[in-house]
Amino acid sequence: MEKRRCNFCYASGATEKAILYHDTRWCKPLHEENELFAMLILEGMQAGVSWNLILEKEEAFRRAFDGFDPHIVSAYGEEKVQALLSDRGIIRNEKKIRAAIANARAFLKIQEEFGSYDAFIWSFTGGKSIDHRLKSLEEMPARDELSERVSAELKKRGFRFVGPTIVYSYLQGIGVVNDHCICCDYR
């Protein structure tokens, strides 16, 4: 019997990579530091474009941003910014690229303060995933009180491209929020 998925997987624009992302990564608890950073950058890059496009370009992003190692990204200078702006494999938006560098620096400061970024981001929910037990994706908000709180804290700490809607998507992407429909076999 074929497994059931959240209904957006059956939409006409759902790509093979998007379905794989849904099945294996979306709303799954993530605790690895570089991947937490990677998802933060990818979600910021997604502003104004489709998530399918980000997933199609993910490997190019990983290559261009040195595997999303925040130590390396935080040290990028103007030469690297210019190289990224000419990289046709990624989203070449100067504000987003410069935000990724600023976010790497802020990410490292959080690691110093909290021992890990993981400890910081999961502290908002006491280390537990919030399961909204949605009956349909129409019930899914674009943002909520938690994403507004996390967004405000990240902005206060110098992060960019972390508005409440981006943060809500990020929290789903790292499993702090589980918005798989209750009928989905990939919950």
Spot the catalytic one: 26, 51, 117, 170. Answer: 51
Q: Which helix (H) or strand (E) holds 177?
A: strand 177-178
Are 42 and 9 spatial neighbours (Cβ–Cβ below 8 Å)? Answer: no
55-68 exposure pattern, b = at least 16 Cβ within 10 A, e = fewer: bebbeebbebbeeb
76 is catalytic: no
Q: What does the pLDDT look like over 170-179, one tens digit per residue?
A: 999 999 999 9
Cα-trace Rg, the chain: 16
Query: How many whole angstroms separate alpha carbon 18 and alpha carbon 122?
Result: 25
Question: Which CB contacts under 8 angstroms, 24+ apart, belong to 110-113?
Answer: 110/157, 111/33, 111/70
43 is catalytic: yes
Residue with tokens 């910081």: 120
pLDDT of 33 above 80: yes
51 is catalytic: yes
Choosing among 1.10.340.30, 3.40.1190.20, 3.90.950.20, 3.30.830.10, the CATH entry for 30-178 is 1.10.340.30
* Mean pLDDT computed over 59-81: 98
Spot the catalytic one: 21, 26, 122, 168. Answer: 21
pLDDT at 184: 95
Spot the catalytic one: 10, 33, 43, 170. Answer: 43
pLDDT at 7: 84
